[in-house]
Amino acid sequence: MGLVDRLLSGDRRAAAQLVTLMEDGGPPAREAVAALYPHTGHAHIVGVTGSPGTGKSTLVYELAKEFRSRDKTVGIVAVDPTSPFSGGALLGDRIRMQKLSTDEGIFIRSMASRGQLGGLARATGDAIKVLDAFGRDIVMVETVGAGQSEVEIARAAHTVIVVDAPGLGDDIQAIKAGLFEIADIFVVNKADREGADRTLLTLRMMLDMGEGSRERGWRPPLVKTVALQGEGSALVADAVEQHLAHLKESGQLHIRSMRLAEEELRRILGQELLSRLLDEIREEQWEFLTKEVAERELDPYTAADNLLASFFQATAGVDERRGYES
Ligand SMILES: Nc1nc2c(ncn2[C@@H]2O[C@H](COP(=O)(O)OP(=O)(O)OP(=O)(O)O)[C@@H](O)[C@H]2O)c(=O)[nH]1
Ligand SMILES: [Mg+2]
């Protein structure tokens, strides 16, 4: 049986192998995506993002337990799970993950960020497809909300939870970086710490000023949690379910799916075009144009135009030849 068939029959090892395949990318990954894609589109994708160390992993762990108690199966993709900021958290993550992984209804996987152009967003998007096809009801994606590709990953979810916490210095600072706008649910974690109410108030004020709230008819709820004690995680799970219900009832689930499909298609098209174009350019031509630009003989836009023109000429030539053959 092939990997994808094994995945569809519920084989966890196949799921793990497929995620690895997605990390590696290339033609085998594309073939696998083509085979499993018709089986996706059923999971509720939940992005969990926020500044480093706010308690995202701890909350994801608690949410996973909560959803399991509601008879939902859970997949977790943690992107670059430990930032240098919270240092020792990795061990805690490992222990938590181990506890969870004895439950067949939970599948956890962390993604290595490989740093190639667009690679992380692609690999994570494809890993989510694996867990979706695997039949998980909910797929949570944890990413640190710093950097464009992480925000992009979080945005590619049906429901986005932004986790904030007191004691991160400037509260507004903590939720800048484009995070406020993408939140469907705000969690103020570490409510046991001083300053939690002030963090909550700041967020509420920003919401009242009409910032954020990306969809009509949905005001992002603010939920206080002490994830470390599991306090408030049921309320967050409620909010996640309410948001999905809202997306369905308002017809926005369809709109959002269309938007996500379009964004993914654009991203893939851009990468494909670029890599094919770079393949097509002859070494001498590349060196020549680089030198021209460096020496101010040619501006970079005109150089890029030249490259594009010769690329399309070359590919048009290929099509013509094909046309003659057939
Ligand atoms: N006091 C308190 N500490 C918490 C709470 N939730 C998490 N922590 C602690 O905060 C630290 C960071 O928690 P993580 O869950 O690893 O945070 P994270 O956002 O996943 O961190 P990164 O993935 O590294 O960005 C850990 O030491 C947790 O034990 C909470 O509700 N209260
Ligand atoms: Mg984490």
Q: Across the chain, what does the average pLDDT equal? A: 85
CB 58 within 8 A of CB 86: no
Tens-place pLDDT, residues 63-118: 999 999 999 999 999 886 554 444 444 555 666 666 776 788 999 988 865 545 45
- The confidence band for 1, taking pLDDT boundaries of 50, 70 and 90, is confident
Over 60: is that where the pLDDT of 291 sits?
A: yes
Measured from the Cα of 88, ligand 1's closest atom is: 27
- The confidence band for 168, taking pLDDT boundaries of 50, 70 and 90, is confident
- The confidence band for 216, taking pLDDT boundaries of 50, 70 and 90, is low
The ligand that comes nearest to the alpha carbon of residue 58 is 1
Tens-place pLDDT, residues 148-167: 777 777 778 999 999 999 98
- State mean pLDDT over 9-29: 93
Determine the distance separating the centroid of ligand 1 and the alpha carbon of 226, expressed in angstroms.
10
Determine the distance separating the centroid of ligand 2 and the alpha carbon of 90, expressed in angstroms.
8
The ligand that comes nearest to the alpha carbon of residue 89 is 1
Largest CA distance in the chain: 75
Report the C-alpha gap between 53 and 67 in whole angstroms.
23
Lowest mean pLDDT among 18-22, 32-36, 74-78, 316-320: 316-320
Over 50: is that where the pLDDT of 199 sits?
A: yes
- The confidence band for 271, taking pLDDT boundaries of 50, 70 and 90, is confident
Mutate to test the pocket of ligand 1, among 48, 58, 62, 224 (most ligand atoms within 8 A of CB): 58
Measured from the Cα of 61, ligand 1's closest atom is: 15
Residue 153: closest CA among 133, 180, 126, 176? 126
- Helix (H) or strand (E) run with residue 303 in it: helix 300-325
Determine the distance separating the centroid of ligand 2 and the alpha carbon of 44, expressed in angstroms.
20
Determine the distance separating the centroid of ligand 1 and the alpha carbon of 145, expressed in angstroms.
14
Give 254-261's long-range contacts (Cβ < 8 A, gap of 24+).
256/158, 257/41, 260/156
Highest mean pLDDT among 38-47, 151-160, 268-277: 38-47
Determine the distance separating the centroid of ligand 2 and the alpha carbon of 73, expressed in angstroms.
21
Report the C-alpha gap between 200 and 203 in whole angstroms.
5
- The confidence band for 29, taking pLDDT boundaries of 50, 70 and 90, is very high
Cβ-proximal residues to 135 (8 Å cutoff; 6+ apart), any chain: 10, 42, 73
The two beta strands, 138-144 and 185-188, are unpaired
CB 186 within 8 A of CB 164: yes
Report the pocket of ligand 1 as residue ranges, CB < 6 Å. Answer: 52-58, 81-83, 86, 89, 92, 144, 189-190, 192-193, 226-228
Domain covering 40-251, topology: Rossmann fold (3.40.50)
Residue 114 has a pLDDT of: 54
Put the strands of the sheet holding 159-164 in their side by side order: 106-111, 74-79, 138-144, 44-50, 159-164, 185-188, 222-224
Comparing 144 with 40, which gets the higher pLDDT?
40
Over 80: is that where the pLDDT of 173 sits?
A: no
